[in-house]
């Protein structure tokens, strides 16, 4: 499916970009980072317009995020259950919900661009956890615009190296996630050992 979406972007430009990023933000697994990087490359080739592309990609992502939030908050039990099944199960949703409550705005912000695979889960979980819509919307807009600008600029700079760049970004994201997990686990181990020594 990723190749079809990239082909559509290459052929139709902005409408395909808007539809793809919106659908991806709702939870359909599409290579959004590569889409944005390719958009940057198309901009450097003069095929697409820089500001227009940033506007279209940001609007599409934000619209998709809002749909996810609305489904979580007001979608009703049946629709929510369907979406949970589509996204992979109640257990993962419970994890995302816990993160949404714990991290709040920062969770929304960083899941827009730094750990983007978590994005659709956080949208949904924020709705279910009844996280303030205004706060969600503010962090969502900030995170999405930053992510869109960042990846489009990278694509524009490395316009002839998009596949290699996508591979770097993918592995960098996972390295970062693993590092954060290592730090959190290290902290837990350290506090557990300290408590043991005390008792």
Q: Which of 89, 168, 197, 199 binds other proteins (CB under 8 A)?
A: 168
Number of residues that make up the chain? 199
The tokens describing 99, both together, are: 């993160």
3-state SS, one letter per residue, for 38-59: HHHHHHHCCCCCHHHHHHHHHH
- Integer distance in angstroms from the first to the last C-alpha of the chain? 56
Using a CB cutoff of 8 Å and minimum separation of 24, what contacts does 89-92 make?
92/121
What is the distance between the alpha carbons of residues 97 and 128, in angstroms, rounded to a whole number? Answer: 8
Question: Is residue 172 a contact residue for other proteins (CB under 8 A)?
Answer: yes
Q: Which of 79, 85, 86, 181 binds other proteins (CB under 8 A)?
A: 181
Angle value at C-alpha 103, between 153 and 184, nearest 5 degrees: 90
Stretch near other proteins under the rule CB under 8 A, chosen from 57-65, 96-104, 143-151, 174-182: 174-182
What is the distance between the alpha carbons of residues 61 and 197, in angstroms, rounded to a whole number? Answer: 49
Question: Is residue 1 a contact residue for other proteins (CB under 8 A)?
Answer: no
Q: Which of 82, 135, 188, 194 binds other proteins (CB under 8 A)?
A: 188
What is the distance between the alpha carbons of residues 77 and 74, in angstroms, rounded to a whole number? Answer: 9
Name the residue nearer to other proteins (CB basis): 45 or 132: 45
Q: Which of 1, 79, 167, 194 binds other proteins (CB under 8 A)?
A: 167
CB of residue 132 to other proteins, shortest distance in Å:
32
What is the distance between the alpha carbons of residues 189 and 173, in angstroms, rounded to a whole number? Answer: 24
CB of residue 196 to other proteins, shortest distance in Å:
8
Range 13-42, binding other proteins (CB under 8 A): 41-42
CB of residue 2 to other proteins, shortest distance in Å:
8
Q: Which of 114, 117, 141, 159 binds other proteins (CB under 8 A)?
A: 159
Stretch near other proteins under the rule CB under 8 A, chosen from 60-68, 87-95, 113-121, 190-198: 190-198
The tokens describing 75, both together, are: 């979608």
3-state SS, one letter per residue, for 74-97: HCHHHHHHHHHHHHCCHHHHHHHH
Binding site for other proteins (CB under 8 A): 3-4, 6-7, 10-11, 41-42, 44-45, 47, 158-165, 167-168, 171-172, 174-175, 177-179, 181-182, 185-186, 188-189, 192-193, 196
């Amino acid at each position: 499916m990723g190749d079809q979406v990239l082909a559509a972007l290459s052929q139709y430009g902005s409408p395909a970009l808007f539809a793809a990023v919106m659908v991806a933000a709702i939870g359909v697994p599409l290579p959004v980072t590569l889409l944005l990087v390719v958009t940057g490359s198309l901009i450097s080739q003069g095929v697409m317009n820089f500001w227009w592309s940033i506007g279209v990609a940001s609007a599409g992502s934000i619209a998709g995020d809002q749909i996810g939030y609305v489904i979580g908050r007001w979608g009703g039990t049946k629709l929510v259950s369907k979406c949970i099944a589509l996204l992979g199960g109640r257990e993962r949703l419970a994890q995302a919900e816990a993160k949404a409550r714990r991290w709040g705005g920062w969770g929304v912000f960083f899941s827009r661009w730094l750990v983007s695979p978590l994005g659709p889960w956080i949208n949904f979980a924020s709705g279910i956890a009844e996280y303030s819509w205004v706060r969600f919307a503010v962090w969502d807009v900030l995170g999405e615009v930053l992510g869109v600008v960042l990846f489009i600029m990278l694509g524009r700079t490395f316009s002839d190296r998009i596949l290699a760049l996508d591979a770097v970004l993918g592995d960098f994201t996972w390295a970062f996630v693993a590092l954060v997990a290592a730090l959190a686990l290290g902290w837990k181990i350290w506090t557990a050992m300290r408590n043991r020594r005390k008792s």
